[in-house]
């Protein structure tokens, strides 16, 4: 069991679920599971990523997990801070796992792709889906769903830019150990946010942000492409881009980096 105070102390594991996030939300609708309750499945029949996209994963090869939190101290206007916390925790987990394989195989840098995908180089290795409930001006509960490719070596043609920790490191890794590392990293970052250190978290998030300060190609929702420079991410989660029209702010649904 992970060396944590609360994350992962209640650990529900299943061979298959439609969605770990959906299971967590059902638990919240019926009861109040302890903070840090983790729901993990070896396989998901209806796993989801951002905006309803499907999350494909070979059974037993990867980490598919959701964690229940109660950030009632966090204003709803600051909910993107949870995305930063989760992204940094997964980034730290990946980095720790890949450090084992540095003598075996060199790999590109691990980066956070706005808003909360994880990439090795430009290839996606993980994603995060956070579903919050709000009460008044505050968050009431959060389900942080994480999909992390660990030992999968082949991906469908529909995912040409996908990779895994095994592909990057050349090693077959233990998903249980990776999960324990994730619990530790997530709890540390979550408590850091709770203690009021949001500026530190924000700085660390930006330090690992893919494309920060570099010229990149982006596509608007209508498909038009343009060159721009990422200047940062606003506190509400909007991407700050310097492009042909000067400085603009984009929501997650209005632009994507190619």
Give the strands of the sheet with 11-17, arranged side by side.
11-17, 38-44, 63-69, 138-148, 123-135, 117-120, 110-113
Q: What is the pLDDT of residue 46?
A: 73
Structure tokens at 125: 């290795």
Q: What is the pLDDT of residue 54?
A: 57
Distance CA 181, CA 251 (A): 31
Q: What is the pLDDT of residue 51?
A: 46
N- to C-terminal Cα distance for the chain? 39
Averages of pLDDT over runs of 10 residues in the chain (258 residues) are 90 96 97 98 75 68 97 97 98 89 64 94 95 97 98 91 93 95 98 98 97 95 95 96 94 90
Q: What is the pLDDT of residue 106?
A: 64
Distance CA 69, CA 67 (A): 7
Q: What is the pLDDT of residue 49?
A: 54
In the chain, which residues fall in CATH 2.30.30? 215-257
- Cβ atoms 113, 152 nearer than 8 A: no
Q: What is the pLDDT of residues 94-128, one digit of tens each?
A: 999 988 545 445 668 999 999 889 999 989 999 99
Q: What is the pLDDT of residues 205-215, one digit of tens each?
A: 999 999 999 99
- Tell the CATH topology of 215-257: SH3 type barrels. (2.30.30)
In the chain, which residues fall in CATH 3.30.930.10? 11-207
Superfamily of domain 11-207: Bira Bifunctional Protein; Domain 2 (3.30.930.10)
DSSP 115-144: TTEEEETTEEEEEEEEEEEEETTEEEEEEE
């Amino acid at each position: 069991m992970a060396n944590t105070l609360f994350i992962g102390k209640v650990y529900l594991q299943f061979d298959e679920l439609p969605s770990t996030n959906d299971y967590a939300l059902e638990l919240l609708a019926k009861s109040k599971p302890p903070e840090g309750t983790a729901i993990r499945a070896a396989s998901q029949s209806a796993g989801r990523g951002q905006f309803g996209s499907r999350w494909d994963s070979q059974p037993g090869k990867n980490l598919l997990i959701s964690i229940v939190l109660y950030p009632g101290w966090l204003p709803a206007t600051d909910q993107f801070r949870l995305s930063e916390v989760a992204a940094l925790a997964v980034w730290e987990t990946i980095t720790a796992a890949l450090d084992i394989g540095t003598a075996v195989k060199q790999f590109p840098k691990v980066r956070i792709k706005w808003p909360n995908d994880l990439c090795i180089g430009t290839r996606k290795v993980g994603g995060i889906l956070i579903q919050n409930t709000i009460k008044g001006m505050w968050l009431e509960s959060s389900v942080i769903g994480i999909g992390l490719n660990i030992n999968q070596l082949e991906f469908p043609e529909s995912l040409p830019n996908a990779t895994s920790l095994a592909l990057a490191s050349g090693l077959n890794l233990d998903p249980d150990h990776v999960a324990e590392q994730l619990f530790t990293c997530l709890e540390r970052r979550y408590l850091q946010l709770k203690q009021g250190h949001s500026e530190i978290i924000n700085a660390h998030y930006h330090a690992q942000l893919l494309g920060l300060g570099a010229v990149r190609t982006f596509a608007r929702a209508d498909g038009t492409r343009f060159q721009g420079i990422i200047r940062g991410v606003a506190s509400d989660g909007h991407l700050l881009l310097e492009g042909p029209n000067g400085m603009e702010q984009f929501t997650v649904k209005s632009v994507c980096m190619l």
